Chain A
Amino acid sequence: QVHLQESGPGLVKPSETLSLTCTVSGGSISTYYWTWIRQPPGKGLEYIGYINYSGSTNYNPSLKGRVTISIDTSQKQFSLELSSVSASDTAVYYCARRGEVAMLDYWGQGILVTVSS
């Protein structure tokens, strides 16, 4: 059974960089695409971006170039960096696996990141 676990600070100051890591267990990271999704409190789901095992990435243009996703296959981890954060970036951040038919079939439990001074 594939398991994903997010880790990182739960509080980030405005204008700083949010950094999260997702650790994959129970399956190979060297296939599929690995995704970040976020959900502001009380709101819907927003796609942030994805990466594949070779490092090919896709980002949501709405985040205006503030996003970087990277992967470390040796550690079975992939990471998210979101720069110049503001209060509107406060959300639960999920990592998820894009399955073979372009669905999100495995999700981490999510981590709440609050942007506040």
Chain B
Amino acid sequence: DIQMTQSPSSLSASVGDRVTITCRASQNINSYLNWYQQKPGKTPSLLIYAAARLQSGVPSRFSGTGSGTDFTLTIISLQPEDFATYYCHQSYDTPWTFGQGTRVEIK
């Protein structure tokens, strides 16, 4: 299985901060990397797909970069509604696998 490792596991940030979350795959996954946001008690929602494509309706303060094994999700100017857990997901090969999640908390 392809292992997905996110860092950090959690972070504290303030409204207006720039936040970067990284995801590393255990092997090359080209650009088959997606990012999801999950708020407590809610369903995950797609933010970024194919490493860098913004899902329709997602604010432009979210962006994704990377290819191969190293990827980043960046939130410029963190907003109150962005406090949540973020997961990366590789869809290059089955079984699809997810990162362990990064919890973004209010400082």
The interface of chain A, by Cβ under 8 A from chain B, is 44-47, 58, 60-62, 94, 98-99, 101-105, 107-110
Q: Which residues of B contact A (CB under 8 A)?
A: 1, 32, 34, 36, 43-46, 49-50, 53, 55, 87, 89, 91-92, 94-101
Nearest opposing residue in chain A for B34, CB measure: A103
Which of A46, A98, A99, A102 has its CB near the most chain B CB atoms (within 10 A)? Answer: A102
Q: Which of B36, B46, B98 contacts A46 (CB 8 A)?
A: B98
Among residues of A, the one whose C-beta sits closest to the C-beta of B4 is A44
Q: For chains A and B in complex, what number of residue pairs have CB atoms within 8 angstroms?
A: 58
Check if B89 sits within 8 Å of A44, measured CB to CB. Answer: no
Q: Are B50 and A103 in contact (CB under 8 A)?
A: yes
Q: Is the CB of B34 within 8 A of A44?
A: no
Beta-carbon contact of A105 and B49 below 8 Å: yes
Q: Assess A44 versus B43: contact at CB under 8 Å? Given A101-B53, A103-B50, A105-B55.
A: no
